Amino acid sequence: MVNRPLEYDYTIAKMFMLTTILLGIVGMLIGVILAFQLAFPNFNLILGEGLAEYTNFSRLRPLHTDAVIFGFTLSGVFATWYYVGQRVLKVSMAESRLLMFLGKLHFWLYIVVVAAVVVSLLAGVTTSKEYAEFEWPIDIAVVLVWVIFGASIFGLIGIRREKSLYISVWYYIATFLGIAMLYLFNNMEIPTMFATSAAGESGIGSWYHSVSMYSGTNDALVQWWYGHNAVAFGFTVPIVAMIYYFLPKESGQAIYSYKLSLLSFWGLMFVYLWAGGHHLLYSTVPDWMQTMGSIFSVILILPSWGSAINMLLTMKGEWQQVAASPLIKFMILASTFYMFSTLEGPIQAIKSVNAIAHFTDWIIGHVHDGVLGWVGFMIMAALYHMAPRVFKREIYSKSLMAAQFWIQTLGVVLYFTSMWIAGITQGMMWRAHDEFGNLAYSFIDTVTVLHPYYTIRGVGGLLYLVGFLMFAYNIYKTMSARPVEEHELQNASPMGA
């Protein structure tokens, strides 16, 4: 038998790459609009008084978070899975008609769900639980998409040639299991249309309305167990999967330590789930849970920094690559921001710090240095690495890439610094008392003082969006302007395809 390289099938990966870019633009554009709405309330009327109901901050806000989390990030996760999965398992999707069918079904059902989400959130159909706003019919569709994704992962694993699962595959499996468990339990709800009145009437009211299975404090507990860990299994785990594959591939360096990756993987799995309680400090959940949430958030530094250090040390002795390659820059900056936000989070989870930070813009700053710095940069890096290989064309412009890198870095820095100052100012002003023990400021004083920081944040977000548009343009030109190479492009890696 001739020993020739496998021809991988990137059909599904390409489709999800496009949605990553498209939904990234949508999510970030809405984010910029929201930022300016807070600085200049007239931005709420961006499409005029007649459409104010749909362009209002309160309708766009859930759309922004969901577009970035479930649109941009998840598409990125799917796109990389359909690329990385085949390569590390040494099997092509084209070998199985069932897998190709599942992949396509996965994509198109996902598109249907995205469309339903956009329409329903703009119409104000929401359960109000953050990042779980969808009503029950959409929830069922989401679960279906997720089950197909799982079938596709385990299907590919089932026909693999490489016996041992590469680290990235561990993380993709964990992503699937984690989100499945969290999403199901947090969205337990009863549709109200099945209720019957004393007069025997049923099918009353909106058919899509539902009521949560949990009430008050319990609902909050389940929601933040979900909310925090959706960050874990949507923003941390799959992005770690990406960097474990793409950084060694792009740099040609083997991962620094296998033992460290073992420790950080199983550590992350065990520790992360306890930390959701830090969203509920000083609330009505029992004290011991708050304390557990706080302590485990601090312990979480260990597995998080374990992965990040493992990545940074992968570049040991090869740091000249960071200067030479814009793509390596993206990945190293992503790892650095990962370390940064996984240090900032535990600091905010310390009870005394949380007393000031909670409910303020500092939290928004923390989220965004994670999402823009870590998730955004890593997904863009992954797509930049994949593009030449799936489209069989060189990247259109390396200098455009470098320019984009610096514009976006400036954007992120403006974003989190302005939000730090805004958040701490807000937190300190809320609690300030004068010498007679009366409140020093009325609430509106703490709002108007933030105007300059809100404006800076808007500018920071705009810079990031501009950079993202440059990224989209660069990928578009790569797809269309460059001549097709005869063979799939290979990298300098000694590790084999």
Partner 1 sequence: MFHWLEKHPFFFAVGVFLVISFAGLIEILPNFAQASRPVIGTAPYSTLELAGRHVYIKNSCNACHSQLIRPFKSETDRYGHYSLSGEYAYDRPFLWGSKRTGPDLMRVGNYRTTDWHENHMKNPPSVVPGSVMPAFRWLFTNKADINTAFAEQLTVAQHFSVPYNQPVPMKDGTTKVVKMGSSIADANAIALQEAKVIAADMRDQDVKDAVARGEIPEIVALIAYLNSLK
Specify the DSSP element, H or E, that contains 190. strand 189-191
Of 46 and 112, the one with the shorter C-beta distance to partner 1 is: 46
Nearest-approach distance from CB 426 to partner 1, in angstroms: 8
Chain centroid to CA 71:
9
Nearest-approach distance from CB 146 to partner 1, in angstroms: 15
Long-range CB pairs of 343-347 (<8 Å, 24+ gap) are: 343/301, 343/305, 344/369, 345/297, 345/300, 345/370, 346/297, 346/298, 346/300, 346/301
- 196: helix, coil or strand? strand
Interface map 365-404 toward partner 1 (x if CB under 8 A): ----------------------------------------
Largest pairwise CA distance in the chain: 89
Query: Pick from 213, 216, 157, 151: which is nearest to 184 by CA?
Result: 213
Which positions from 101 through 140 interact with partner 1, judged by CB under 8 A? 124-130
Work out which of 199, 352, 436, 496 binds partner 1, going by CB under 8 A: 199
Of 54 and 473, the one with the shorter C-beta distance to partner 1 is: 54
Which positions from 278 through 317 interact with partner 1, judged by CB under 8 A? 279, 282-286, 289, 292-293, 296
Q: Can residue 352 be called a binding residue for partner 1 (CB under 8 A)?
A: no
Which positions from 256 through 275 interact with partner 1, judged by CB under 8 A? 262, 266, 269-270, 272-274
Q: Phi and psi (nearest 5°) for 221? A: -65, -50
Chain centroid to CA 417:
21
Q: Can residue 170 be called a binding residue for partner 1 (CB under 8 A)?
A: yes
Where does 159-286 have alpha helices with state H? 167-186, 216-231, 237-251, 258-272
Of 227 and 467, the one with the shorter C-beta distance to partner 1 is: 227
Q: Can residue 181 be called a binding residue for partner 1 (CB under 8 A)?
A: yes
Of 234 and 388, the one with the shorter C-beta distance to partner 1 is: 234
Work out which of 2, 4, 201, 317 binds partner 1, going by CB under 8 A: 201
Query: Pick from 127, 226, 117: which is nearest to 180 by CA?
Result: 226
Task: List Cα–Cα distances, 380 to 199, 226, 237, 401, 462, in angstroms.
Answer: 59, 26, 17, 10, 17
Q: Can residue 88 be called a binding residue for partner 1 (CB under 8 A)?
A: no
Interface map 32-71 toward partner 1 (x if CB under 8 A): -----xxx-x--xx---x--xx--xxxx-xx---------
Q: Can residue 431 be called a binding residue for partner 1 (CB under 8 A)?
A: yes
Nearest-approach distance from CB 98 to partner 1, in angstroms: 17
Chain centroid to CA 483:
33
- 239: helix, coil or strand? helix
- Determine the interface stretch with partner 1 among 72-80, 139-147, 221-229, 344-352 (rule: CB under 8 A): 221-229
Of 1 and 443, the one with the shorter C-beta distance to partner 1 is: 443
